[in-house]
Structure 1
Amino acid sequence: MDGQARAAQEALYRALDETVSRLYAEGRLADALKAVEDAAPRIPSRRADTAHLAACLLTLTGRAEDALAALRTALDDGAWWSPAILVDDDDLADVRDLEGFAPLLRESTARHATATGVPLPPVVRRPQGAPRGVLVVLHGADQDAALAAEQWAAAVEAGFVLVAVDSSQRSTPLYRSWPDIGVGIRDITAALAELDEADASLPLLAAGFSAGGRVALLWALSDVSDVAVRPSGFLAVGPALTPAHLDEARRVRAAQGAVRGRMLVGEQDDEVTPEVYDAHAVLVDAGADVTLETIPGLGHDFPADFGRRLPGLLETLLVARPRLAGC
């Protein structure tokens, strides 16, 4: 599949996901199921994801046997899901009681174990002139490095080497996120190893959206003994962060003032608020140089003028601090 076809299918899937989420919230399950069944044939790249959506909706409308059959057919077509999706999703509770579920779970789990945890080469974009720094950008859940490179492209024009990292943690063939911070930092470290040797002397910053924003922040606040390389600042857009993510070691690191951070949160972002405000308060109480700006009218997304904002935000984070963990 070429890039244009892949992008077209992703656009269809995003639109479907939004439609299903809205109909689900409104209790219109039959309409949501019809939307999935109509769109799925046009999105073969998302076979696992559309099968999961259909299975959930079939189960909730009293058709657990059909739901299991939908998952089995997708599995036979090469799809797979992480064990957590099949075991922990409340919408599939009735499916788990069926006789054919256990073998499906075993086969899917085996495929997941083989496919996940494999780092991909980063997407690297370089400025035309001499670079001023390196910006590592981390995608949100169910996104990828290619999209992140587009979202943060203004950093390249501002003189940064842009390194967009794919998470190796997958729930389906295309659904990537960052549930394990240790694995996430390993992926970042592997991506940075792909850069030129000269880049090692440049200031290093971290950035990310949603789950990626959380990992960028936690990486910046990691203990020196836990990481090979660490950024001197971070920028997080809509970070999926709660106080529980900030353990005592990271609070101590924040109190040392060795990291600067900037957070942008949408006024209407009910996916991360109010918890992200509580987490920010924890950082501020610890004495961290971390600011949070609320963007009026914005949901869980980037500000419309993000490309204009980004160079100035990065400028505030460019501080003369060593990037190596042992320094």
Structure 2
Amino acid sequence: MIYVGGVPFLNENSSSSLSSSSQESNLLLDVMSHPAIISASDSFKNLEERKVSFGERDTESSTKDRYVYVFQREFAVVNPALVDFVGTDEATTCVGLVIRNRKSGITSIAHIDSPKVVDLGISQMLPLVLEDDENAEFDVHMVGGYEDVDIKNANDCDYAEPEGYSFPLCCKLVETLQKRRENFHIQTLFILGHNTKLDAQANTCPIFNGCLMNTSTGSIFPASFNRTSRCPDEIVRRVRVSASFEDSSWKGKLLDTYDTKTDRFIIAPCCWTMRLVEYVWELNQLPDEEILANCSTSPSAEGPDFIDNERRIWNYLLTYPEWSKTFPRRQPHVFKRIANGSWKKC
């Protein structure tokens, strides 16, 4: 069940005569219009975006903040005794979801890109955050997603086959939390209209593409990361996102990344086929504007490094077409944290 402003949220506009998708739409729009959510969105919008850049790390004896970053379709659960900050970015039609145990501070973060991974994904995120406490209370934050289609008349629309991406995903997230037995206090819902602006060409785009949470205090901020801070194993983790669509073992799931108890990144293996390699070879021949049109859910809203990141993924797959070269004997990539807060491969 979800709570807003400290009380259970009851969707007064729901009706048994409405379709499931219409009920989800009503619930989402009602929550977004709640005064507490509007106030929180206004406050979040006025925060300065944190720009996370590791640059050159100091010597191993220095003390640095300890970060965990998740890419698209990844999740991680962290202990504030071991991790200072968790974050994600590069979200346009995706949503960064943060669930934090109010008592222990144990925090789960995910970068969710499709309604198809919401049910299993949230089930993956929760066990370590629950800590076997059936009465645990959770703070929930969502950042990302924007008005990539007109949703003003959403109640009159059939979203079974939506033209857009953000709205169905946000509907599914809120509805799934509402249906679960755990107690979720929605603190930040910076999505859709709350997270939409116009660019110089009058295209809608997100105000913020990412978030960063202080695990000790539970404070959340808009954030962006540079290439050095999207670590460790950046390219392989990006490749896994593409490969996971072919790998049946990841169907409907979020990608494993991190071991909570040992503070290690354990990049679970993922396999890919020659069909994917052949496909990315074809994509790599396309001009930039066609790459945007073919590979993005939001061509007018992508960041300046989107195409470069896509080509780096494709070049990796073309260089290492056999997945077993990346994950010999199907073993994960393991990284341990060193004294300066960065990561070293084991």
TM-score relative to the length of structure 1: 0.27
Q: Which structure shows the bigger proportion of residues in helix conformation?
A: 1
Would you tell me which structure has more strand in proportion to its own residues? 2
